[in-house]
Structure 1
Amino acid sequence: MSHLLEVEDLEVKFALRGGDLTAINGASFTLDPGEKMGIVGESGAGKSVTGFAIINLISKPGFISGGRILFNGEEISSFSDEKMRKIRGNRISMIFQDPMMTLNPVFTIGTQMVETLKAHRNISRHDAEKIVLEKLKKVYIPSPEKRLSQYPHEFSGGMRQRIIIAMSLLTDPALIIADEPTTALDVTIQAEIMDLLQELCDTDEMGLILITHDLGVVSQVTEKMAVMYAGKIIEAGATDQVVTNPAHPYTKGLIKSLPGMIKPGEDLYQIPGMMPNLTDIPPGCAFNPRCPVKEPVCLEKEPKLLSTKQGIMAACHMVGQ
């Protein structure tokens, strides 16, 4: 079976006055139909830029400066805007963290969904409305017929996010990229939205890339994951393996800082220090200023992503030491 998505040595730069800034440095991964993958890391790690690069939506001064992105075997990173529009929002959909940024406050939900569908398909309004209702039912919106004439502000945050998911499903995409889709929602609604995305992947063979800083969500939803730090993938593998047997000190720190990992009354663990600024990445391993196990080699030589005994890929000089 061929891969649904292949990202090979992806490099994204931002052209600034002082020279080009590398935001993504050689990221590679694959995704199969129906597979669920998590991309994890702190703010500024490059997770969202990776998602935007896949659908070629990086705004200037950013640009894809190297690597290849293959979708269903076709290299889409070099597609023209016009050609890309046939894929973006059609074969690949993206869900953003704030539904109010995606929904237009002055149009009803029905109008927005019908127009979205008509932008990608040559169908009548009547047929479009039928598909819209079917998708709203699919995401468990109660009495969807009534909802079509309502405006975004008449819905709760969780309902709005479901409507965004219904919108992203209108064209039966092969891949959904969800960028922090539950950040603005409370915990019970978060769980509902994640269950819904999982169900859609299982029933429709839809691929999912879940971009998040929340390792807890990734461990419940995805089959494989990649951990990003300062624009690089520093650990990757099957989710259960990475969560139970992390190889990289950064991943270990992320797992240790999960609330469920501490005894009642203990302080929550925090990785010391901050992610480096992209203009000021330290030599050697970018994580070295914050690393509890660093050695002299870590300050000089950049570690390569290599396979560990557990079959996880990790970029750390100390793995296996």
Structure 2
Amino acid sequence: MSLLSVRDLTVKFAMRDQTVTALDQISFDLGKGERLGIVGESGAGKSITGFSLMNLLSRPGFIDSGSIQFEGEEIAGLPDRKMRSIRGNRMAMIFQDPMVTLNPVLTIGQQMVETLQAHRRLSRADAEQIAIMKLREVYIPSPEERLAQYPHELSGGMRQRIIIAMALLLEPQLIIADEPTTALDVTIQADIMELLLELCTSNMVGLILITHDLGVVSQMTERTLVMYAGRIIEAGKTREIINDPQHPYTQGLINALPQQTLPGHRLKQIPGNMPGLAAIPTGCAFNPRCPYAVDHCRSTRPETVSYASVEVACHEVNRLHNTVLEDESA
């Protein structure tokens, strides 16, 4: 049985004059201890996916249809009271900015102890010992002293380590990390990602890593979902997607990586922008930006098919693949 099974999940937002679709029938599975990456540009639906799984959508957003099963239990539409026993306990989320997650008027110790006591029958002394142990696991120096400090007294990297420690407090089976290093200096990002990988691997915790950075995904995950305009347009083993991307959008993301451009040359980019939810094109949503688009792409939405060991939603995947082969043999 999968740790997490998502089927045909559709999320909509009820605006003043219309209802728009943010997630359009997405489906995927996550095994116990498996690491899954979700990548795409801003507006692709990555973070909405994470919020939906945690049942943290707020109005005007709502789950319109579909299923989310966690350890065999249906949690889509679960009442908030019941969801609270799962959220933070069996599922945890790491957000982009630790200063948004941490309460600025409470000490680190107060926040960690309250989290533990909300889900476990523990004395304050026992909760503090568990908190200290978790801070040591994320290599926080002098953890006893950190319990008495406030978030603003710590560096960005230290705060993010504390967020990871808090996510692991109750030993969840699943962690959803939404751009966990965005607010950090480049020099600290690699350390945080390495720490997260180490902790998830050693504790057999399932990980969903939400990011726009395919370079990070290639180092951290076993499987990858590529999202565009609320749909999964390519899915498969991370190594297969990185080495042999099938969808033109995935190819564009990989070509845009800095290491794909010679020093002194202009960085490559995908022309145009992600469409807004109220203006998603007919047919394939990527067609206005796709160099391979034909009339069929502009009129009919592509179905997801198995191709070259991945699942891909593209009408022209055969022609695109043949074109690449011809270029390589030339």
Q: TM-score range by the shorter chain?
A: over 0.9
| Aligned residue in 1 for 2:216 | 217
| 2:317 alignment partner AA | V
Shift of 1:201: 1.4
| Aligned residue in 1 for 2:279 | 280
TM-score, structure 2 length as denominator? 0.96
| Aligned residue in 2 for 1:298 | 297
Shift of 1:19: 2.1
| Aligned residue in 2 for 1:32 | 31
- Which SS does the other structure have where 1:134 is aligned? helix
- Identity %, equivalent residues: 64
Structure 1 ranges of 4+ moved more than 6 A: none
| Aligned residue in 2 for 1:239 | 238
- Which SS does the other structure have where 2:277 is aligned? coil
| Aligned residue in 2 for 1:311 | 309
| Aligned residue in 1 for 2:79 | 80
How many pairs were matched up? 319
Gapped regions of structure 1 (runs ≥ 5): none
| 1:315 alignment partner AA | A
| Aligned residue in 2 for 1:140 | 139
Which runs of structure 2 are paired with 1:171-186 in the superposition (5 Å)? 171-186=170-185
Per-residue CA deviation, residues 44-88 of structure 1 (Å, 9 max, x unaligned), is 110000000001110001100011000001111131111000001
Distance in 2, matches of 1:216 and 1:320, equals: 26
Which runs of structure 2 are paired with 1:1-321 in the superposition (5 Å)? 2-308=1-307, 310-321=308-319
Distance in 2, matches of 1:54 and 1:106, equals: 29
Indicate the RMSD between aligned Cα atoms, in angstroms: 0.7
Shift of 1:120: 1.2
Distance in 2, matches of 1:173 and 1:188, equals: 28
Asked if the contact 2:63/2:77 (under 8 Å) is kept, the reply is no
Asked if the contact 2:96/2:179 (under 8 Å) is kept, the reply is yes
Per-residue CA deviation, residues 11-44 of structure 1 (Å, 9 max, x unaligned), is 0001112221100001111001111001000111
Distance in 1, matches of 2:184 and 2:165, equals: 17
| 1:199 alignment partner AA | E
Shift of 1:188: 2.1
| Aligned residue in 1 for 2:324 | none
| 2:285 alignment partner AA | A
Shift of 1:153: 1.0
Shift of 1:177: 0.2
- Which SS does the other structure have where 1:279 is aligned? helix
Distance in 2, matches of 1:88 and 1:201, equals: 18
| 1:317 alignment partner AA | H
| 1:124 alignment partner AA | S
Distance in 2, matches of 1:120 and 1:264, equals: 53
| 1:265 alignment partner AA | G
Per-residue CA deviation, residues 230-282 of structure 1 (Å, 9 max, x unaligned), is 00000010001001100000000000000001111111001000111110111
